[in-house]
Amino acid sequence: MRSRCKWIKHGTALILSCVLPGLELSAGEIPEWTGRHEPLEIDGDPASLMVEGIDSFLLARIDEEEAARTDRWQSAFQSADQTRMDFVEARRLVLRKILGVVDPRRDFTHPDIIPRNGSTEPVWYSDADIRVYRIRWPVIGDVMAEGLMAMPAAELPVTDTGRLAAENPSAAWSIAIPDAGQSPESLLGLTEEAGNQSEVPAVVKRLIAAGNRLLLPVTISRTMQKRHSPYSDHGPELTHREYLYRPAFEMGRHLIGYELQTVFSLIDWIDQSSPAEGLPAISVIGHGDGGMLALYAAALDTRIGTAAISGCFGNGDQIWNQPIDRNVFGLLKDFGDAQLAAMVAPRRLLIGNTPGPRAEFPGRGGAPAILTGPSPIETRQAFLDARTILGSGGRSVTLHEVAEDLSESSLTEAVQDAAAGRPGKVFLSLSDRPLLPVPAELDAEIRKREERMIHQWDRHTQQLLLRSPYERQEFMKNLDTSSAEAFAESVDQYRSIFRDEIIGVFDMPLSPPRPRLRHWMDGDGFSAVEVVLDVFPEVIAYGILCIPNGLENGSPRPVVVCQHGLEGRPSDIIRGDHHAYHDFAAKIAQRGFITFSPQNPYIFQDRFRSLQRKANPLGKTLFSIITPQHRQIVNWLKTLPVVDPDRIAFYGLSYGGKTAMRVPALVTDYCLSICSADFNDWVWKNASTLSPYSYVWTGEYEIFEFNLGRTFNYSEMAALIAPRPFMVERGHFDGVAPDERVALEFAKVRHLYQARLGLKNRCEIEWFAGPHTIHGIGTFEFLHRHLDFPAVSGDATD
């Protein structure tokens, strides 16, 4: 038998089309060259079983991480003093990074006093014992935080900081951090306009009378609001906190970190204003989110002498189910609540065993969540875990049991206890105390102040976005482009960072694949087989292998791995002429390529998005699962005698295009990558609160990747694919991004390939007048050319 070939026209190119000899498969037959395998006998939907298995796998890893973390910390705290101190300080560096506490804070001599509306009166509330000021102060960048300051009536105004310190140098400072949604006014008890029926709680008066000063910064609430770009009417309902969280997370920052910077800037001011003989006593106190912030603050800043917290301690391992603004990338690798408590020691930590705030967020475009505090059992267990880590040094961490019927008590009693360095008998927060109604005028003022803070934090993140191209350029400066060989060697350091710090990798070997196969269909010119492979315990890879007719054992061919998009399935890209896919995997198989169409786990909406929520606290992402799935697929394909192991390509659309940017960057056995209907200025698309194209305005709350903005945009990811061939397929009317943003980012990739590396014809983009879809002309030519494979046509003649 001999091959029959002819030249055929495809698009603007002439391609040699050949019919290769081989044996036709009978209907329903699985070829012998697939090797040893078991019959696929699977009950139910493989995609659903995959997502279910990944979910179980991630929950098991969370449990494992908790046990391993406890062992590491106990071992460190049983070491010599210097070793223990070095261990804790190293953890502080990690915690600062993942919380986004990385921007330099601004110095200031004193907070500005905000006069009462319509007057020049600096004091917002006063009586015989206490004065309350509304204040603002600089934090980071252009951000001016706002809040309240309460001090003894006899003291000098806050603006005269030097004289104030000299008057009472031993006075203690307490920073009371409100729970999300709680105003400093309500925390202080000032729920009516000054001069009316409002009265500061007696316990606060006692605190102030003892010479203490109280600072209360504003925190952002979880008020739900319809959000959209100024240039579009479409958008989701997001809490204020999620709205700020989304772009900040992409830029390696966090709303938690921003609010911690607010606290630390106050401590900086106290520090700088202190007398030469030493820093006065500083305590932080809070309930719910305020308690969470107080615990983080005390763990990070050793200038804080005492922290008093409640309604937040004991369920840190469940942050994947909490509001997404509590999501901290990689937190559970090193930190549970017990470990954070251990970082406070030997300073005092008072833990109130009180119920936390409760709320449910349905997820109307935002991330669904259930806000709940830890149970008394969880709080007690985390306290005991902290004591176990600390050993004999655990006496500085104390637990305070509280009866729920003491609802009129106030956590400010714990502030007083903290200032005096003694445990409190009563330990409840002001949020447990019924809040008095806020009059409309004051409520409007509070809302406007929150709007100012939201605007400022958003503006700071947008300024980071504007600077990010220069940060990434500096980050990538160690690439050696003197030759393709030198480049391939120098890029490995960046591939490691991308794998370990951005995508996340599970430090465990792949399971034996144990392939299971089942005939799926006979198509026009090919047959298709379902394949299931084991990847990790409870994690499978599933896909459909398309086998061209006439495939002969012993004639290795290239494989094109074809990837569907969001909510898609392998079958969608093989039959049915889906409007986005147009059966491109089948069409490529009809050209003589073997194709494999994997099921990626981004399917079933919140079910798969919850996988990202569970992965993130482990320092992992959805692609921490997708990447080893593809590695296992490629490993198995390379065992097939009809596959050329050096010619396995990747081609994906939409979310499959996202995969095309990430997986081939890490799975280097992919010899080329084609990104269709996704390539653009990815960081801008995720972090912009101006562009109507931004993911900030969508329900895809899982899409944001921590610190990507400072490290890897799509041009940097393409650098991890280089010097292998890379192509972009772009429809002019694709709603992913405007042409100019696509062109801007692609120009950087072309500059690397063509100008710096001198690699001609390895980097291409095809523009076509069409929407979010496979075009299948230039990309098919690209496959034939770079896989060195002539087109195979069933009707070709000599």
187 three-class SS: helix
Residues 56, 57, 62, 67, Cα dihedral to 10°: 110
Residue 153 exposed, middle or buried by CB count within 10 Å (0-12, 13-18, 19+): middle
Spatial neighbors of 702 by CB under 8 A, at least 6 apart, are 608, 609, 611, 612, 613, 622
- Rounded (to 5) percent helix, strand, coil in the chain: 40, 20, 40
Listed range (54-63, 123-132, 326-335, 528-537) with the worst mean pLDDT: 123-132
Enter the tokens of residue 633: 């697929």
Q: Inform me whether the pLDDT recorded for 690 exceeds 90.
A: yes
Q: What is the mean pLDDT of residues 654-675?
A: 98
Rounded Cα gap, residues 665 and 275, in angstroms: 56
Listed range (119-133, 476-490, 625-639) with the worst mean pLDDT: 119-133
- DSSP assigned state of 23: P
Reference 782, options 630, 565, 596, 591; nearest CA is 591
- Strand residues in 603-750 grouped as ranges (E): 643-653, 672-676, 726-731
CA 29 to chain centre: 45
Q: What confidence category does residue 427 fall into, taking pLDDT thresholds of 50, 70 and 90?
A: very low
26 three-class SS: coil
Rounded Cα gap, residues 449 and 176, in angstroms: 18
Q: What confidence category does residue 407 fall into, taking pLDDT thresholds of 50, 70 and 90?
A: very low
- Which residue's structure tokens are 């029959």? 4
What pLDDT is stored for residue 426 in this prediction?
29
How many CB atoms are located within 10 Å of the residue 103 CB? 16
Rounded Cα gap, residues 574 and 641, in angstroms: 24
What pLDDT is stored for residue 240 in this prediction?
98
Amino acid identity, position 31: P
* pLDDT cut 90: percent of the chain above it: 74
Enter the tokens of residue 450: 């929150």
Q: What's phi and psi for 130, nearest 5 deg? A: -140, 145
Residues 285, 291, 296: CA angle, nearest 5 degrees:
95
Rounded Cα gap, residues 13 and 401, in angstroms: 78
Rounded Cα gap, residues 51 and 614, in angstroms: 13
Q: What is the mean pLDDT of residues 127-132?
A: 83
Angle between helices 623-638 and 655-666 (to 10 degrees): 70
Rounded Cα gap, residues 610 and 768, in angstroms: 36
Q: What confidence category does residue 12 fall into, taking pLDDT thresholds of 50, 70 and 90?
A: very low
Handedness of CA 548, 550, 554, 556 (dihedral sign): negative
- DSSP assigned state of 104: P
Handedness of CA 224, 229, 232, 235 (dihedral sign): negative
Contact 698, 236 (CB under 8 A): yes
Amino acid identity, position 622: L
pLDDT digits (tens, 9 = 90+) for 702-734: 999 999 999 999 999 999 999 999 999 999 999
Enter the tokens of residue 358: 């409760």
What pLDDT is stored for residue 54 in this prediction?
98
Rounded Cα gap, residues 264 and 247, in angstroms: 22
**How is 708-762 classified by DSSP, letter by letter?**
GGGT--HHHHHHHHTTS-EEEEEETT-TTS-HHHHHHHHHHHHIIIIIIS--TTS
Q: What's phi and psi for 615, nearest 5 deg? A: -75, -40
What is the maximal distance between C-alpha atoms in the chain?
A: 107
Q: What's phi and psi for 516, nearest 5 deg? A: -125, 130
- Which residue's structure tokens are 């690699």? 759
What pLDDT is stored for residue 499 in this prediction?
98
CA 137 to chain centre: 29
CA 763 to chain centre: 30
pLDDT digits (tens, 9 = 90+) for 569-586: 999 999 999 999 999 999
How many CB atoms are located within 10 Å of the residue 401 CB? 12
Q: What confidence category does residue 152 fall into, taking pLDDT thresholds of 50, 70 and 90?
A: confident
Rounded Cα gap, residues 541 and 611, in angstroms: 16
Per the prediction, the chain carries an average pLDDT of 88
Rounded Cα gap, residues 587 and 526, in angstroms: 10
Say what the pTM is.
0.92
Rounded Cα gap, residues 770 and 653, in angstroms: 14
* 459-491 CB burial, b ≥16 within 10 A, e <16: ebbbebbeebbeebeeebeebebeeeeebeeeb
Q: What is the mean pLDDT of residues 347-375?
A: 93
Q: What is the mean pLDDT of residues 119-141?
A: 86
Q: What is the mean pLDDT of residues 762-768?
A: 98
Q: Inform me whether the pLDDT recorded for 274 exceeds 90.
A: no
Contact 727, 766 (CB under 8 A): yes
What pLDDT is stored for residue 692 in this prediction?
97
What pLDDT is stored for residue 503 in this prediction?
98
pLDDT digits (tens, 9 = 90+) for 289-320: 999 999 999 999 999 999 999 999 998 889 99
Q: What is the mean pLDDT of residues 320-344?
A: 97
**H helix intervals, 130-281:** 161-167, 184-188, 202-209, 240-250, 255-272
Q: What is the mean pLDDT of residues 313-338?
A: 95
Contact 141, 211 (CB under 8 A): no
Reference 600, options 56, 55, 50, 60; nearest CA is 50
Q: Which residue has the higher pLDDT, 435 or 517?
A: 517
Rounded Cα gap, residues 555 and 635, in angstroms: 19
Reference 258, options 177, 333, 148; nearest CA is 177
Distances, alpha carbon 738 to alpha carbons 28, 465, 677, 741, in Å: 46, 18, 12, 6
- DSSP assigned state of 294: H
- Which residue's structure tokens are 């991004």? 737
What pLDDT is stored for residue 489 in this prediction?
93
Rounded Cα gap, residues 789 and 43, in angstroms: 38
| Number of DSSP helices (H) and strands (E) in the chain, helices first | 23, 26
Q: What confidence category does residue 159 fall into, taking pLDDT thresholds of 50, 70 and 90?
A: low
Distances, alpha carbon 517 to alpha carbons 37, 285, 329, 513, 574, in Å: 7, 60, 38, 12, 18
Contact 223, 230 (CB under 8 A): no
Residue 300 exposed, middle or buried by CB count within 10 Å (0-12, 13-18, 19+): buried
- Which residue's structure tokens are 């390539």? 679
Q: Inform me whether the pLDDT recorded for 797 exceeds 60.
A: no
Rounded Cα gap, residues 657 and 737, in angstroms: 14
Contact 207, 419 (CB under 8 A): yes
Q: What is the mean pLDDT of residues 180-189?
A: 86
What pLDDT is stored for residue 717 in this prediction?
98
Residue 455 exposed, middle or buried by CB count within 10 Å (0-12, 13-18, 19+): exposed
Reference 427, options 310, 344, 347, 337; nearest CA is 310
Rounded Cα gap, residues 774 and 266, in angstroms: 55
Rounded Cα gap, residues 560 and 597, in angstroms: 9
What pLDDT is stored for residue 405 in this prediction?
31
Q: Which residue has the higher pLDDT, 340 or 317?
A: 340
Residues 74, 80, 83, 86, Cα dihedral to 10°: 90
Residues 120, 122, 128, 129, Cα dihedral to 10°: 170
What pLDDT is stored for residue 552 in this prediction?
64
Q: What is the mean pLDDT of residues 460-482?
A: 98
pLDDT digits (tens, 9 = 90+) for 774-789: 999 999 999 999 999 9
Rounded Cα gap, residues 52 and 750, in angstroms: 41
Q: Inform me whether the pLDDT recorded for 549 exceeds 60.
A: yes
Reference 734, options 781, 661, 647, 675; nearest CA is 675
Write down how long the chain is.
798
How many CB atoms are located within 10 Å of the residue 333 CB? 17
* pLDDT cut 70: percent of the chain above it: 86
